[in-house]
Amino acid sequence: MKKVSMVIVSLVMLTLLLAACSNNNEPVNTAKEPDSSAKDNTDNNAVTEPKEEVITIKYVIPGTEPNEWPAVKEAVNKKLLADGVNVQIEKEYIDWGAWEQKINLKLSTNEDFDMFHVMNDWIQLANYAGRGALKDISAEIEQYGPNLKKVIPESVWSSVNKEGKIYGVPAYWYEAAVDGSITINKHLLNKAGAATSFSNRQEMLDAMAQVNKNLDMKLNIPIRGGTAGPADIFQRTYDSYPFTVRDNIAYISGDGVVKNWVETDEFKQDAAWFRQAYEAKLIHPDVLTVKQEQVEQQIKSGQYVFTFGTGNKFVDVQKTYPDAKDEDFELFQFNPEKPSYRMVNAKNINVVAASSKHPAEAVKFLNWLYDNQDNYDLFMYGIEGTTYTKVGDKGLETVIDPKTNTPLYLQDDWMIGNLNFIRVDQSLLSATKQLYIENPEAKNFFAADFFFDPASVKAEMGNVQAVITSDVTPVYRGVLDYDKYIKSAQDKLKAAGIEKVIAEYQRQLDAYKATLK
Amino acid sequence: MNKRKGFFYEIAINRYSYLLLLPAMIYVFLFSYATYPYLLIAFQRFNYQKGLSNSEWIGLENFRFFLISNDALTVTLNTIKLNVLFLVFVTFFAVALALLFNEIKNRIFIKLAQTAMIFPSFLSWIIVSYMMYSMFTMDYGIINQVIEFFGGEPVNWYSKAEAWPWILVGMKVWKDAGMASIIYLAAISGIDQSLYESADIDGASRWQKMTRITLPLIASTIAILTLLNLGKIFYGDFVMIYAIIGDNGVLYSTTDVIDTYVFRALRQIGDPSNAAAIGLFQSTVGLLLVFVANWLTRRFFKEGALY
Amino acid sequence: MRITRRITLGTITVYTVLALFSIACLLPILLTLMVSFTDEDSIIRNGYSLFPEKFSLDGYRTIFVNWGLIFRGYLVSITVTVVGSILAVIITALAAYPMSNPNVKYRNAIALYFFITILFQGGLVPWYLMNIKLGLTNNIFALIVPTLMFSAFNMFLVKNFMESLPSALRESAYIDGVNDIRIAFQIYMPLCMPVLATVSLFYALNYWNDWYNAIMLVDNKQLYPMQYILFQLRSNIQMLEMLPTGANSGYTLPAESTKMATVILTIGPIVFLYPYLQRYFVKGLIVGSVKG
């Protein structure tokens, strides 16, 4: 009995100890911060200017806090004050696995935070707006955001504009015209004596089969995300180009007609190609289940004849193929004579929460961020020499923390970056760097900035999406035979209400088109 | 006797008993009952700005997406089917393991074997799914290698829908049976040993002791556990099934449960009201089911009833 | 002669069956252990294997560079698990005793009251608000108190066990004028050690495996339990799916061996819990007490 009570007593003491240190730590992190910055403020500004209140805004993003953020934060906040912007920035990182829940929580409880990130191709802006989560910041942008208008193209803004209200600031961080490309591994193609350029999709498969045969390999096409959208690489091969497919269901033609994608001939042809590849074992037999890391690893190490989209770092490819050269990897699009289109803009948007008391300051901060390269570098990449080094004009090399194998500090460009300032990791394949080069020839597809709001057909949309994953994706990916299974998939889509969704799509698109004129 | 006396009399006479109940009752009040008003968002078009009290009431609209779906019936049946299979097999194996452990005397073996059996509970389903993938994958999977070794044709497991309910059952048994058997071991060690002694005197065999003494005496534990699980019968084990099956639509005909369906349908819409609506539906039906089952149990096997 | 031989055969079968099942349960852990010691390149080439081509300590090395974090994580996990389980078992046993007492008139209604909480959850938002109101954020109690400190499921298990005890125990104590609190503590709880050990194992596992309270209620890195560290490693993988490859991102794929090493580390101390608890599965407690 004595032993037990001893154990309990020591545990209680341990608990209290932990409790005590957590209580001590907390004020250090939160309460003291504004205090010290306020002091900075008086140091820097009080002499010259009359005092203006310094406001700290909180930016909530997914991910894990990099080790050096506290140091970078201090530098950013100092510079903000020195530049006369009376705003201080604070970031809260939320783990990916809890992102949706925690954002929903913060919004539901009207927690005090100002800006957060919206992945428009995941849970849409319209969705958040519909639930009253966002603040209209059109007036603030007008007043405090001259730089925003400068660095973000006019057309992209229409994607955050609903009935005259502006619900966010789009991140214009990559050249969307690159979507629909494939990366070709010419190193392997040359070695196998296969063609290195394709004029049609059959040649791709033939070349790949040749590589596997001649080099005695078992490569397959890495396909990211089992439910990821249609393969936009083939769009350019159709006469109906340009068109786009949204939400896996809505085929939007160049002249503004919305059709059920699954019923189109393009869908059928795509599915036939995947089926052929699947049967020839050029697609992983477990393509619908294969672990995402495995696919990423495959792309990273360059173990493909071609992959949809862009590749990764050259150094990693070299580990697999020591004699491969950077120029062996080429970004390729079918029918290059056809014009390039950006099919969708504004996949990433930063928004101001409805509960925020400082929408103006959030805009002021973004305006500061996009004011010049120095500001951008500081917030995005940290402190030169410590967390990154500049390489050339627009390049950088991040300093990797050997402990965690992650960068010491890096604000992901895809959340809040901008093409005008972005620095590119020089270890990337040259083919991949194209993502960050603005293509002056590229045009915006007329619906590039149109986003569908499913609110009025929510029930149908939910069921349609469920059917897409269960019945359509296996057919599209070639796992199931088109002729045998498409009928029942289409019937299920109809039963789920796809016609209603498409009609609503058409209605919203027409309304959007009307605003363009 | 107490029946005619009032509420306060009962509280007074059993005051110590009610005092003992108080911590648990307050606890569940705070962490469960106090949160229930929020379930009302199932009937609302919830708006962050307006909150619970001012959001618009829309009746059963949030349930509609599920009710109009022509998969609703399939996934509901799948949910029930899988849960019944899980329940039956896990219980069977857990009881069997407990009975077998009761038959052996080597303490070191018991300790080692029981410790080994609860190991799978330490692994999350996600980690398990990675291991399963390396077992079942088409090209390098362990199972297919074994099949090929014996001269068979490799099987594309991840497109064989009919096999997966049984694979899932197997995994569930593997992961949960060891842990569940501990409950029965505890129940067995609560059995009055004099019963066995008198059985020995009557010359009962081991089998007879097992089936005539041990099994009947742990039957109430089996019944209670079954009733507790029955309430959750409309809840698919989302974490398990989504980790293992993921977005592989080919396997859905046999493995898609209510929770995975709802997840898929709402993943882009992301509206908390819809999810709340389905949860309410699942719980309510489960509760009704337990009402009936408990009523039956109380009539025919009083010790096994929940209340 | 014949009888003993048949018994031996039966015993051998029992041992074999149990041994086989144990091995089946052990293999995956063994696999995890081996992968955690495997060189990353050979994992990529050959997948998981029980007999790795090349050993490597890299998986652990990456983790232990942050040994401060790991140490802290263990400290938090162990404290939370031990304190939480003890409190939870006490609350559970206290509630189970009156529930098993037929003299308590409202016990059925209360059973229903408890049972409903197994089925219905009000959702994350009100739960979170409640925790804020109770001051359960950003401190160690936020990891101990919410959700995990009582489970009606476990209460029913204990209640069921108590009901199987002879009611003469209680009746004779009543005659001696002992009140219910003392009966619960002095007579019932010692006799319930097997089931209390079982539920404390369940509680301990839940505490040990929990990262949800940590992720929802705690922002202070000092208070992250071990499981949370494993969770962080995994959770960011989703992010990769949505980005074009080559996007500047602070996130990179964790090495397979690192992931498995973390799994092994999180299993760590909890493995020793069961052999410790097993001593309470003693038969024959009851006979002694009724007689004595």
Per-residue pLDDT tens over the stretch C137-152: 999 999 999 999 999 9
The angle at the Cα of B198, spanning B192 to B202, to the nearest 5 degrees, equals 145
Q: Select the residue of B31, B193, B307 nearest C287 (Cβ to Cβ).
A: B193
List the alpha helices (DSSP H) in C134-211. Answer: 140-144, 152-164, 168-175, 180-182, 189-191, 193-209
Cα Rg of chain B (Å, integer) = 24
| String of DSSP letters for chain B | -GGGS-HHHHHHHTHHHHHHHHHHHHHHHHHTGGGGGGGGGGGEE--TTTHHHHSEE-TTHHHHHHHS-TTHHHHHHHHHHHHHHHHHHHHHHHHHHHHHHHH---HHHHHHHHHHHHGGGGS-HHHHHHHHHHHH-TTT-HHHHHHHHTTPPP--GGG-GGGHHHHHHHHHHHHHHHHHHHHHHHHHHTS-HHHHHHHHHTT--HHHHIIIIIHHHHHHHHHHHHHHHHTTTTS--HHHHHHHHTT-GGGHHHH--HHHHHHHHHTTT--HHHHHHHHHHHHHHHHHHHHHHHHHHHHH-GGG---
Q: Of A104-118, B177-191, C150-164, C218-232, which gets the smallest average pLDDT?
A: C218-232
Q: Which long-range contacts (CB under 8 A, 24 or more apart) does A141-146 make?
A: A141/A166, A141/A169, A141/A363, A143/A360, A143/A363, A144/A360, A144/A363, A144/A364, A144/A367, A145/A169, A145/A363, A145/A364, A145/A366, A145/A367, A146/A367
Element of type H or E holding A329: strand A329-332
Q: Give SS3 for A166.
A: strand
Q: For residue range A266-324, list pLDDT tens digits in order.
A: 999 999 999 999 999 999 988 888 888 888 888 888 999 999 888 888 988 998 899 99
* Pairwise CB contact (< 8 Å): B27 & C166: no
- In C, residues 160-199, which contact A (CB 8 Å cutoff)? none
B155 chain-A contacts, CB cut-off 8 A: none
Q: Is the pLDDT of residue C275 over 70?
A: yes
* Cα B92 to the center of its chain, rounded Å: 14
Contact A211, A190 (CB under 8 A): no
Q: Is the pLDDT of residue C89 over 60?
A: yes
A452: amino acid identity, one letter? F
User: Which pLDDT value is given to residue A228?
Assistant: 55
- B56 reaches A (C-beta below 8 A): no
Which of A106, A283, A468, A469 to mutate to test binding with chain B, by most B CBs within 10 Å of its CB?
A469
User: Which pLDDT value is given to residue C262?
Assistant: 85
Phi first, then psi: give them for residue A308, nearest 5 degrees. Answer: -70, 135
Q: Scanning the structure block, which residue is given the tokens 């592989």? A: B248
In this complex, which chains have at least 3 CB pairs below 8 Å with chain B? A, C
Which of B101, B119, B184 to mutate to test binding with chain C, by most C CBs within 10 Å of its CB?
B119
Q: Scanning the structure block, which residue is given the tokens 């790991």? A: C70
The Cβ of residue B64 has, within 10 Å, a number of other Cβ atoms equal to 18
Q: For residue range B57-110, list pLDDT tens digits in order.
A: 998 888 888 888 888 899 999 999 999 999 999 999 999 999 999 888 888 999
b (16+ CB within 10 A) / e for C110-142: bbebbbbbbbbbbbbbbbbbbbeeeebbbbbbb
Q: For residue range C154-184, list pLDDT tens digits in order.
A: 999 999 999 988 888 899 999 999 999 999 9
* Pairwise CB contact (< 8 Å): A459 & B65: yes
Q: A415 CA to chain B: closest CA distance, Å?
A: 19
Residues 6+ apart with CB under 8 A from B156: A285, A286, B138
Q: Is the pLDDT of residue C292 over 70?
A: no
Q: Give SS3 for A496.
A: helix
- B136, closest residue in chain A (CA to CA): A286
Q: B118 CA to chain A: closest CA distance, Å?
A: 26
The percent of residues in chain C predicted with pLDDT above 90, rounded, is 43
* Pairwise CB contact (< 8 Å): B186 & C149: no
The percent of residues in chain A predicted with pLDDT above 90, rounded, is 50
- For residue A348, list its beta bridge partners: A119
Residues 6+ apart with CB under 8 A from B255: B78, B82, B161, B164, B165, B168, B241, B245
Q: C58 CA to chain B: closest CA distance, Å?
A: 20
- The rounded distance, in Å, linking the Cα atoms of A97 and C253 is 15
**Band of residue C239 on the pLDDT scale cut at 50, 70, 90:** low
Residues 6+ apart with CB under 8 A from B133: A286, A289, A290, A291
User: Which pLDDT value is given to residue C241?
Assistant: 65
| Average pLDDT of the segment spanning C76-87 | 95
The angle at the Cα of A499, spanning A496 to A501, to the nearest 5 degrees, equals 80
- The rounded distance, in Å, linking the Cα atoms of B96 and B90 is 10
Half-sphere exposure of A285 (CA within 13 A, CB side): 18
* Pairwise CB contact (< 8 Å): B104 & C263: no
- The rounded distance, in Å, linking the Cα atoms of A78 and A86 is 10
The angle, 0 to 180 degrees and rounded to 10, between the axes of the packed helices B142-149 and B125-136 is 30
Q: Is the pLDDT of residue A227 over 80?
A: no
For A209, counting Cβ atoms within 10 Å of its Cβ (0-12 exposed, 13-18 middle, 19+ buried), the class is middle
The percent of residues in chain A predicted with pLDDT above 70, rounded, is 88
B47 chain-A contacts, CB cut-off 8 A: 131-132
**Band of residue C47 on the pLDDT scale cut at 50, 70, 90:** confident
- B228 reaches A (C-beta below 8 A): no
Sheet-wide strand order for A306-308: A306-308, A182-185, A329-332
- The rounded distance, in Å, linking the Cα atoms of A236 and A457 is 31
| Average pLDDT of the segment spanning B194-202 | 89
User: Which pLDDT value is given to residue C263?
Assistant: 86
Q: Select the residue of C181, C202, C284 nearest B16 (Cβ to Cβ).
A: C181
User: Which pLDDT value is given to residue C288?
Assistant: 45
Contact C23, C40 (CB under 8 A): no
B127 chain-C contacts, CB cut-off 8 A: 32, 263
In this complex, which chains have at least 3 CB pairs below 8 Å with chain A? B, C
* Pairwise CB contact (< 8 Å): A293 & C253: yes
| String of DSSP letters for C13-62 | HHHHHHHHHHHHHHHHHHHHHHHHTB-HHHHHHH-S-SS-SSB--HHHHH
- The rounded distance, in Å, linking the Cα atoms of B68 and B77 is 16
Q: Of A96-110, A187-201, A458-472, C197-211, which gets the smallest average pLDDT?
A: A96-110
List the alpha helices (DSSP H) in A158-262. Answer: 186-191, 201-214
b (16+ CB within 10 A) / e for A275-312: bebbeeebbbbbbbbbbbbbbbbbbbbbbbbbbbbbbb
Contact B79, B236 (CB under 8 A): yes
Average pLDDT, chain A: 86
User: Which pLDDT value is given to residue A393?
Assistant: 85
